Amino acid sequence: MEILGTSPINFETFLWICIGTGIAPMYPIINEILNNEDDETVITLMFGCRSPSEIIFREQLNSLSSYWNF
């Protein structure tokens, strides 16, 4: 992963904690890590909402489970 034109950053694990719409800025970063075949960062996402009806990106988040490192 490259942030603001710096060298790639490699982490062994990454814990993401967000609630509600807080997933919006994190989703593209998570997606970038998972789609980079050279990145072996293991991602753990803790995402909360008041009710299941408030889950945004539901289908996209479900599809992330197909990645070995998510």
* Residues 8 and 2: beta-carbon distance below 8 Å: yes
Residue 37: the pLDDT is 87
- Look at residue 23 and tell me if it is in a domain: yes
pTM: 0.74
Count: domains in the chain: 1
In this structure, which amino acid lies at residue 64? L
Q: Find the domain containing 46 and state its range.
A: 13-64
- Look at residue 43 and tell me if it is in a domain: yes
Full pLDDT tens readout for the chain, 70 residues? 555 555 556 788 999 999 999 999 999 999 989 998 888 899 999 999 999 999 999 999 999 999 999 9
- Look at residue 44 and tell me if it is in a domain: yes
- Look at residue 2 and tell me if it is in a domain: no
* Residues 15 and 46: beta-carbon distance below 8 Å: yes
Residue 54: the pLDDT is 92
Q: Which 3 state secondary structure label does DSSP give 35?
A: helix
Residue 39: the pLDDT is 87
* Residues 23 and 31: beta-carbon distance below 8 Å: no
